[in-house]
Structure 1
Amino acid sequence: MHVFFRSIWYLLLVISVITVSGCGKPSVAVMTASLSQVPLSIDEDITLEAVHSASVIPMVSGTIISEIPSVGTSVKTGQILFQVDTLSYEEQATNLRAKIAQSYTVKVPAELPIDNSLEASLLKQGIITRAEYNRIQGRKTVESNVNIPDGLSESLQAIEKAILDCSVRAPIDGVVSAVYIGTQKNATAGRPALAIQQETLLSTIIELPSHIDSVVEMAKAQKTLTVSISDGKNVWYAELTKQNKNGENGYSYYKIQVDNPNKEIKVGQSYKLHIETGQTASCYVIPTKSILKNNQIAVVTAEHLIDMRTVVIASTIGDNTLLLDGVKEGEQIVISPTKELQIGTAVTIR
């Protein structure tokens, strides 16, 4: 009897060893990827930038003697943003003006010759005036002679312009978005000092697979396209425009643009973009629990090895996620991948 139980025990041990050694491979549940025609909506996280912006570039170099506007300061076109010290330019202008003044001389004839002409006689008799006499004679009683050295006038004009340029003004209405001036408060000609952006019109660029271009065009033509941006509390409606320049590897660029007259939407802050096409499109519908971090899914190859795919997610509806790209029809997608699954892991399919 003991021999019988001992034999049974050895048999169970052998089976368990075989099971462990042969089944040391993780067992995974899979689904076969196949395209379905489903209503297409797209969700994406975006940040927006100002459509219109300008750099404030001083035309002169020097020490800034005024306060400098900080980031977030609202400014108007033509408003003085900061003042560069004009002292050195004023001194140059004074010296140039003095040199130009010295160049002016006045010559007055010491004695005019005796004139016995008819017009002189008429002048003596009071028949014509002195002005009429001078006009007839074409004479100038005073001759001005100006002899300004070459370049002085042009130099003075340049210095006077530099003095005006020391008042650095805003090129557009907007908000100061960046300050590039260091702690020494020095302005450098030709180097940006500030950046100003207009926050009343914002935009961003997204990439979508080119195979849905026709879907977007149809949605626009049939007026079923809705584009909105939300912060979780507020919703703003936007415009979607395909750009002429296409992306790489079968992708198209689209511009999202939204009016922001009250400046409620903040530049650089994350918002939820929702595109509702009102049209159907070919998508892969998979369980949301199949999605790993960084928008990856695990697939089982023909060799029963794990491989990873980075997918393009359109949106998540309930427990399912719509995929636009990144997987091929017929591939075996792991339904509930675990963290232990790595590229190259051998698995069995249950």
Structure 2
Amino acid sequence: MNRLPIPSDRPRAPARPLHRRASLALVVLAVSLQAGCGQRGASGAGAAAVEVGVVTLAEQSIVQHTELSGRLSAIKVAEVRPQIGGIVRKRLFTEGSDVKAGQVLYQIDPATYQAAYDQARGTLAKAQATLASAKTKADRYAELVKINAVSRQDYDDAVAAVREDAADVIADQASLESARVNLGYTRIVAPVSGRIGASSVTEGALVTADQTTALATIQAIDEMYLDVSRASADWLKLRRAFASGRLKTAGSGAAVKLLLEDGAEYEQAGTLQFSDITVDATTGSVTLRMIFPNPDHALLPGMFVRARLDEGTDDHALLVPQLAVTRRSDGGATVFVVDEKSNAKQAAVKADTAYGDQWIVTQGLKAGDRVIVSGLQQVRSGTPVRIAGDDTSAATAASAAH
């Protein structure tokens, strides 16, 4: 006989609908997401500004210059060479000393040339005596022909003889002068004043008029000149700056400072003498020549130096420290400036000319712009920034650099 199930005495919990549990889970998730977004928003709004140092740009007047290097040369260089052949009897100077123009340097044996001079003088004296006799005869015939004491032909022959003897005298005078000049060439003199170098010959050496080796070299070093090359592109850029009025020309004869090999500045200022009128086809450069006084002979030929040439005055220059400028791979330049919202902003600039440890900026910035010079490692475009202390003016930076 089957038993019927006996109902339990404990009350059974009512079943919770499925849709109510799902709704509760969604509410919890929404609250969590809203809390997370609020935290992130609060974090972004309170981000700390990056501390940076800036310079405020201001227009200023500067003298723009360029440095060009080269080697010094003596203002005059003369090679001492014999103009006749012979044996060197004496050397009459001290090697490495200063000599004067016309000073005797070598004595060549004059015996042969003295004999040639004496012979030419004797020949001239004979020709002069013959001419005098011919003139006397012609004068006598001039009187006799009037009374028909001599023929007209004899008189004409006498006159012709005078003219012939006069021509001989002129030729013999030239021969004597040539002999005198050659005799003078036995005394080899300094063609210019200056410092003479080592002698290539000694006493007893045979020299000739057509030899290739100079006896010695004299260099006038009271003044020195420096030839330097400048790219024609830079030359054109400078001319355009003058034409636009951005630069005021320093003019021909502008002062030039000389920097020696050890970095010291030479005490005497030089001048720009000239610039070449042609561009070298192989190098694309123009030659400039500068002259420097050298009264104490502190400068020597062959010294490697750098010339600092004043090119012109820029009355509206904007200077930016070089450490603030970043170069791109394409050669362009950029800086970071602080905008009106105190955010960093990257600006492309044109900065091709250096001025000490700064760049002369010709495009991309204006007076009053605040250029970031420190703290750049943490700065990106749009980064909030805070200026540390008082900013440094560009004028102060320029005066400190120069």
TM-score (norm 2): 0.44
Larger radius of gyration: 2
More helix by share: 2
Q: Normalising by structure 1, what TM-score?
A: 0.50
